[in-house]
Amino acid sequence: MLGEKQVLKKEPMSNHTTFRIGGEAEYFLMPSCEEEIIRVQNILKKYSVPCFIMGNGSNLLVSDQGIEGAVLHLGENFSSILVDGATIQAQAGALLSKIAHVSAGHSLAGLEFIEGIPGSLGGAVTMNSGAYGGEMAQVITKVCVLTPQGERKILTNKEMDFGYRHSVVADQGLLVLSAEFGLKEGDKEEILALIKELSRRRKEKQPLEFPSAGSTFKRPQGYFAGKLIMDSGLAGYQHGGAKVSEKHCGFVINEGKATAEDVAAVIKYIKETVMEKFSVMLEPEIKFIGNFEEQ
């Protein structure tokens, strides 16, 4: 089983989400290899203990009441990155920013767009994360997953059924263990320059100085969520410590001591207002974990 340092009890989830929000997890488990993940999942299933899988916590809003059961954290303990020629293989807990810089260090092009996405690989594969014209579907060749039955499987890019913020992972209840990228050799200085430029754009346009979960809403077809929110007059709208960023209206930020209920209230008001003004239903990109009113 897991070592003593790999199991935390009554662990505040605010320590593990980029929103810096969330009540306690009953058990917070940190496996370091595939065998430990499989073993832990089997035990949790045997005793009917609810289990939530998380990576960097960058797209989560965890309830103020916390999470019942166990959180299985695929993080630093499960984050190796291996380079073989123009191929990179990384475990689910590897941070996207680190993968991008490892890629650049080996003069491999194609992953520049992920440098500023504040998440880990498992979540990015699950959601087919993207930015600045790139997305995971364009660079992934295969993904290693664990099925609900505990079977280890390799899925090709086609079998992943990638779409906008979608993959087969959530549909089939799979757990991403690792992924392989097929890249192209390039000029290291040009790759690093592009990473630097994309990083500059993010800092210029996004409220990175405040805790948040990144883009709050998915892009509605034919529109941009941030512009709809801005045109609805909601820039700076605030409830408790949660606020619509004036720098980028597509972000709900934790301006200070915001609760999960504060954030949920802002999201609900945004959805209602945009629907009333433009007849467009915004769909949250962030995941609500725990007890919330219907969003």
Q: What is the DSSP string of 140-203?
A: EEEEEEE-TTS-EEEEETGGGT-BTTB-HHHHHT-EEEEEEEE-EE--HHHHHHHHHHHHHHHH
Selecting among 26, 34, 107, 165, the annotated active-site residue is: 165
- Determine contact, residues 105/195, Cβ cutoff 8 Å: no
| Residue in the structure block whose two tokens are 């945009």 | 274
The confidence band for 22, taking pLDDT boundaries of 50, 70 and 90, is very high
Spatial separation of the C-alpha atoms in residues 31 and 1, rounded to whole Å: 9
Determine whether 165 is an active site residue: yes
* Token pair of 180 as six digits: 């392989």
Q: How confident is the model at residue 195 (pLDDT cuts 50, 70, 90)?
A: very high
> What is the structure's pLDDT at 268?
97
Where does the pLDDT of residue 252 fall: very low under 50, low under 70, confident under 90, or very high at 90 and above? very high
Residue 150: predicted pLDDT:
87
Q: Tell me, what amino acid is at 156?
A: T
How does residue 295 score in pLDDT terms, banded at 50, 70 and 90? low
- HSE-CB of 21 using CA atoms within 13 angstroms: 31
> β-pairing, 134-135 with 140-146?
unpaired
> For residue 33, what pLDDT band results from cuts at 50, 70 and 90?
very high
pLDDT at residue 132, as a whole number: 87
- pLDDT at residue 292 is higher than 90: no
171-190, pLDDT tens digit by residue? 999 999 999 999 999 999 99
Which pLDDT belongs to residue 180?
98
Which pLDDT does position 116 carry in this prediction? Answer: 83
Q: How far is residue 147's CA from residue 173's CA, in Å, rounded to a whole number?
A: 7
Helix (H) / strand (E) containing 43: helix 34-46
Q: Quote the pLDDT of residue 185.
A: 96
Q: Report the 10 Å Cβ neighbour count for 105.
A: 12
pLDDT at position 162: 95
| Predicted pLDDT at 75 | 93
E strands, 171-285, in order: 175-182, 184-185, 238-239, 242-244, 252-254
Active-site residue (options: 215, 232, 245, 261): 215
CA–CA separation, 75 and 20 (whole Å): 17
Q: What is the pLDDT of residues 70-103, one digit of tens each?
A: 999 999 999 999 999 999 999 999 999 999 999 9
Reply yes or no on whether 178 is catalytic: no
Interval 118-169: pLDDT, tens: 899 999 999 999 888 899 999 999 999 999 888 999 999 999 999 998 999 9
Radius of gyration of the chain (CA): 19
Clarify whether 246 is annotated catalytic.
no
**Quick one: pLDDT at residue 294?**
58
pTM of the model: 0.90
* Residue 126: predicted pLDDT: 95
Q: So what's the pLDDT on residue 204?
A: 93
| Contact assessment for residue 216 and residue 250, using Cβ atoms and an 8 Å cutoff | yes
